[in-house]
C-alpha cells in the first residue's frame, strides 16, 4: 500500500495527533535512523504527541491561573529563611494536599516569600495535573460583593470553586468591607472538603476576626480551614530589605523592643498567635 501523504495528514488531523502531523517527516526519519520496530516506532510517536499535549495543557493552565509573576520553588533561597521547612514545601509542591482537599495557610510579615511560595507551589500543582486559580483577597471579595449586588453570587461562587486549587493572596493587608466576611465564608464552605485552598496572610489567625471585621464568621471560616490544614508560619525579616541591607543600602535592624511594647499601625505580625499545630 502506498501511503498518500495528504491522506495521512488528514487522518492525523482528524485524530488530533497534531504533534505527529506537524513533525511527521522528522519523526519518521528519526525512527528510521534508530532502526525501530513498528511497536517501538508507535511508542515513540505517541510519546511525542503526549509530550506536546502535556506542554499545551500546562501553558494553558498557567494562563488561566492568573499568577501575578513567575516564581519557582528552585528560585527560593531556603537558607535565607530558616523558619521554613524545605521538605514541607517540597511535599506541598507534589500537590498531594490538593488531592486530599486540604488547606494551606502561609503566614508571616511582608516580604518573607509567602506569595513567592504560593505561586511556586501553584505552578508545580499545574505541572502535576491540577487546575489552579490565583486571586488577591481584595479582588476576590470585590468580585463576590459585586456579583452579590447583581444577584449573581451563585455563578461567581461556582467560578471560584472550579479550580482544584484556589490561592487567595494577601488576606489582611486591608480590612474587609462589611458583609465581605460572610461572602468569603460562603466561598470557603463551598470549597470545603471538595477543593484545596491556599491563603497567604500577614496576620496570625488570632487576628482574623479583626481583619474580617466579624469574629463569629472568622471563627467559622477558620474552623473549616484548619480542619485539614498545613499552617506554615514564616518568621524573619523581608527578603528585599535583607538584600538591601547586604548591599549596604540599609543599616542593621534596631534591637528588639521589650515584649510588652504596643506596636500600632498596620501589618504587625505576631507569630505566636498563629501557633496552630498542623493537622494534615
State the residues that interact with ligand ADP by CB under 6 A. Answer: 71, 75-77, 80-81, 108, 110-116, 200, 239-240
What are φ and ψ of residue 123, in 5° steps?
-65, -40
86 versus 152: smaller Cβ distance to ligand ADP: 86
The torsion angles phi and psi of 131, rounded to 5 degrees, stand at -95, 145
H helices within the chain, ranges in order? 5-14, 18-22, 24-33, 38-65, 86-93, 96-99, 114-127, 137-149, 153-162, 180-191, 208-212, 215-227, 239-246
What are the phi and psi torsion angles at 107 (to 5°)?
Answer: -115, 145
The C-alpha cell that represents 79 in the structure block: 537558607
**Residue 136: contacted member of ligand ADP, Mg ion, none (CB under 5 to 8 Å, by partner type):** none
Answer yes or no whether residue 147 interacts with Mg ion by CB under 5 A.
no
Taking the complex as a whole, how short is the minimal distance between the CB of residue 236 and Mg ion, in angstroms?
A: 15
Shortest distance in whole angstroms from residue 89 CB to ligand ADP? 11
- Which is closer to ligand ADP, CB of 76 or CB of 184? 76
Q: Per-residue string for binding with Mg ion, 95-134, x by CB under 5 A? A: --------------------x-------------------
| 77 binds, options Mg ion, ligand ADP, none, Cβ within 5 to 8 A by partner type | ligand ADP
CB distance 169 to 135 below 8 Å: yes
Binding residues for Mg ion, rule: CB under 5 A, are: 115
Amino acid at each position: 500500500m502506498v501511503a498518500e501523504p495528504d491522506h495521512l495528514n488528514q487522518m492525523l488531523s482528524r485524530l488530533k495527533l497534531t504533534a505527529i502531523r506537524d513533525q511527521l517527516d522528522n519523526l519518521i526519519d528519526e525512527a528510521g535512523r534508530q532502526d525501530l520496530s513498528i511497536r517501538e516506532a508507535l511508542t515513540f510517536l505517541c510519546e511525542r504527541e503526549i509530550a506536546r499535549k502535556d506542554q499545551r495543557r500546562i501553558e494553558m493552565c498557567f494562563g488561566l491561573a492568573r499568577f501575578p509573576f513567575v516564581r519557582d520553588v528552585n528560585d527560593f533561597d531556603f537558607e535565607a529563611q530558616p523558619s521554613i521547612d524545605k521538605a514541607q514545601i517540597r511535599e506541598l509542591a507534589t500537590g498531594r494536599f490538593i488531592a486530599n482537599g486540604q488547606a494551606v495557610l502561609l503566614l508571616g510579615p511582608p516580604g518573607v516569600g509567602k506569595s513567592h511560595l504560593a505561586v511556586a507551589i501553584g505552578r508545580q500543582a499545574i505541572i502535576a495535573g491540577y487546575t489552579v486559580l490565583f486571586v488577591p483577597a481584595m479582588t476576590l471579595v470585590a468580585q463576590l460583593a459585586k456579583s452579590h449586588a447583581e444577584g449573581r453570587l451563585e455563578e461567581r461562587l461556582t467560578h471560584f470553586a472550579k479550580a482544584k486549587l484556589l490561592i487567595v493572596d494577601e488576606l489582611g493587608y486591608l480590612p474587609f468591607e462589611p458583609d465581605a466576611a460572610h461572602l468569603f465564608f460562603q466561598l470557603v464552605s463551598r470549597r470545603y472538603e471538595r477543593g484545596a485552598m491556599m491563603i497567604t496572610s500577614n496576620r496570625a489567625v488570632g487576628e482574623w476576626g479583626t481583619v474580617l471585621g466579624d469574629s463569629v464568621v472568622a471563627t467559622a471560616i477558620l474552623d473549616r480551614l484548619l480542619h485539614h490544614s498545613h499552617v506554615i508560619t514564616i518568621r524573619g525579616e523581608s527578603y528585599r530589605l535583607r538584600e538591601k541591607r547586604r548591599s549596604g543600602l540599609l543599616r542593621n535592624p534596631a534591637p528588639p523592643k521589650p515584649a510588652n511594647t504596643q506596636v500600632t499601625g498596620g501589618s504587625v505580625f505576631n507569630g505566636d498567635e498563629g501557633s496552630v499545630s498542623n493537622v494534615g
